[in-house]
Amino acid sequence: MPSRRSIALAVAALVSTISLPGSSVRAQTTVTSERPASFTLDNGLQVVVIPDHRTPVVTQMIWYKVGSADETPGKSGLAHFLEHLMFKGTAKHPAGEFSQTVLRVGGNENAFTSYDYTGYFQRVPRDQLATMMEFEADRMTGLILKDENVLPERDVVLEEYNMRVANNPDARLTEQIMAALYLNHPYGRPVIGWHQEIEKLDREDALAFYKRFYAPNNAILVIAGDVDLKDVRPLVEKNFGPIPPQHAIPEKRIRPQEPTPAAPRTVTLSDPRVEQPGLRRYYLVPSATTAAAGESAALDVLAQLMGGGANSYLYRALVIDRGLAISAGAGYQGTALDPSQFSISVTPKSGVEFAQIEDAIDKVIADLSQNTAKAEDLERVKTQLIAEAIYAQDNQATLARWYGGALTTGLSIDDIRSWPDRIRAVTAEQVRAAAAKWLDKKRSVTGYLIKDTAPKREEKRS
């Protein structure tokens, strides 16, 4: 199990694998799982129950509608820092008791922070749900923080930054690309934060953030597994019902938005630890929540068509036909509250210039922008995407993540369940139009990862 002390961007990536458009097309729904039940308490807590009776196990996830993009400027990394501190105990349950209980009953737990949400989950035997819910409800308002455990945890986060970002050239390139892609929107700040700002975070910062955002009317509780609504509802009402809402929390999050992109940007990261140069290009595109009808599904299909496996257009052009690259792929991060990213990633062969790679990429995009894709190619990638959606429903934790990620970024249960139908309805013309409109170089940042071969300077001796 990955350490809970991680940003867990993998969760965001998992959710985005099936990014969820905001408008629906009426068709038969290609969903094999039972429809989740949903209700909302008087204090604003939204609850989603996803039945899965194949094994006597249950997954509890609490999603708070606050992430790194909601931090006060100058205090980057605060959402992730608080995620760490949420394991430091309450007046009722001292530090470590919650985690020890999960382990003792044979369960597992984790936590994650992203741009738009922060979440905590436990997967335990069905008969332990009441205990898990009592713990989780208690720490929604009962967190106690002391300098003797806050300051060491800040050091843990700084070490995590060093390990995951400072000592990882690929992660540093992503950090720099995102900062260049978002000139005004807080998605340009790294989830883990900027090092010099993490260093200054303290107990007061964490408590103020906690009291401001951690409340039932800013949370979604997802229960997936061997449970039924009639059993879950009384437990939720007993544990979360008495918690008062935080009325200062606005119903809609409003953030600074990006100006219309006016020019392509480039970022070059040079590092002596780079063993394999790489090229990455990000485009600013609408998310599932901000897209017009049909656009997000078209971007999903476009990403699969361009970079989803060995039959994709980029792979064929760069790896098979021209022999310029070792790998090539594309992706669309659809699950986001605000405008998101469409990415292209290429690992060139030794000796191949970046200009050759970019020329090949631009030709693939130009062709997709001017000509509709072949019917058999379009059918193939839509089948792949729909199959992934159906197969993934066999994992109750994955289902809980999909629903939580979508609901915290402005989508609905119907949006999630009808996603395969919208993929099926995408036309070749919609894909062409999406490529022409959104894969405009003016909307892009291209990042180059290269090896720094400059000799190290020797220190002067006195």
Give tens-digit pLDDT for 218-263: 999 999 999 999 999 999 999 999 999 999 999 999 999 999 999 9
Token reading at 265? 């940007």
Active-site hit among 71, 83, 109, 295? 83
For residue 263, count CB atoms less than 10 angstroms from its CB and return exposed for 0-12, middle for 13-18, buried for 19 or more: exposed
CB under 8 A, 24+ apart: contacts of 100-108 = 101/131, 101/135, 102/132, 105/131, 107/132, 108/1
pLDDT at 11: 34
What is 364-402 written as a DSSP string? HHHHHHHSPPPHHHHHHHHHHHHHHHHHHTT-HHHHHHH
The amino acid at 20:
L
Q: 457: pLDDT confidence band, cut at 50, 70 and 90? A: low
pLDDT at 390: 87
Q: Is 429 a catalytic residue?
A: no
Residues 142-162: b if buried by 16+ CB within 10 A, e if exposed: ebbbeeebbeebbeebbebbe
User: What average pLDDT does this structure show over 45-72?
Assistant: 96
User: What average pLDDT does this structure show over 444-451?
Assistant: 97
pLDDT at 412 over 90: yes
Facing residues of 232 across strands?
Answer: none
**Is the entire prediction scored with pTM above 0.85?**
yes
Average pLDDT value for the chain: 91
Facing residues of 329 across strands?
Answer: 345
pLDDT at 27: 33
pLDDT at 12 over 60: no
Using one digit for the tens of pLDDT, what is the confidence trace for 159-186? 999 999 999 999 999 999 999 999 999 9
Taking CA 261 as the corner, what is the angle to CA 257 and CA 265, rounded to the nearest 5 degrees?
Answer: 115
State the Cα–Cα distance between residues 3 and 6, nearest whole angstrom: 6
pLDDT at 393: 82
Helix (H) or strand (E) holding 149: helix 147-161
Q: 462: pLDDT confidence band, cut at 50, 70 and 90? A: very low
pLDDT at 18 over 90: no
Does 14 or 264 have the greater pLDDT score? 264
Indicate if the alpha-carbon torsion angle 181, 187, 193, 194 is positive or negative: positive
Rg (CA), the chain: 23
Q: 456: pLDDT confidence band, cut at 50, 70 and 90? A: low
Token reading at 461? 């001796």
pLDDT at 153: 97
Query: Is the CB of residue 252 less than 8 Å from the CB of residue 408?
Result: no
pLDDT at 1 over 60: no
Angstrom CA distances, 40 to 48, 64, 100, 134, 215, stand at 9, 15, 30, 18, 14
What is 79-101 written as a DSSP string? HHHHHHHTTSBBSSSBTTHHHHH
pLDDT at 63 over 80: yes
What is 171-231 written as a DSSP string? HHHHHHHHHHH-SSSGGGS-TT--HHHHTT--HHHHHHHHHHH-SGGGEEEEEEES--HHH
Using one digit for the tens of pLDDT, what is the confidence trace for 294-330? 999 999 999 999 999 999 999 999 999 999 999 999 9
3-17, 128-142, 416-430: which has the minimum mean pLDDT? 3-17
Compute the CA torsion angle 72, 75, 79, 82 (nearest 10 deg): -120
Using one digit for the tens of pLDDT, what is the confidence trace for 176-214? 999 999 999 999 999 999 999 999 999 999 999 999 999
pLDDT at 23 over 60: no
Q: 31: pLDDT confidence band, cut at 50, 70 and 90? A: low
Using one digit for the tens of pLDDT, what is the confidence trace for 394-409? 888 889 999 999 999 9
Residue in the block written with tokens 């402005």: 410
Compute the CA torsion angle 33, 117, 448, 323 (nearest 10 deg): 0
Residues 31-44: b if buried by 16+ CB within 10 A, e if exposed: bebeebbbeebebb
User: How many separate helices (H) and strands (E) can be counted in the chain?
Assistant: 17, 11
Query: Is the CB of residue 126 less than 8 Å from the CB of residue 225?
Result: yes
Angstrom CA distances, 80 to 4, 9, 115, 150, 277, stand at 11, 11, 10, 13, 30
Does 195 or 453 have the greater pLDDT score? 195
> Domains of the chain, with CATH numbers?
9-239 (3.30.830.10), 265-451 (3.30.830.10)
State the Cα–Cα distance between residues 129 and 134, nearest whole angstrom: 9
State the Cα–Cα distance between residues 116 and 67, nearest whole angstrom: 4
State the Cα–Cα distance between residues 301 and 322, nearest whole angstrom: 24
pLDDT at 19: 39
Q: How far is CA 82 from the centre of its chain?
A: 18
Residue in the block written with tokens 């392509």: 264
Q: At what angle do helices 375-392 and 396-407 cross, to 10 degrees?
A: 110
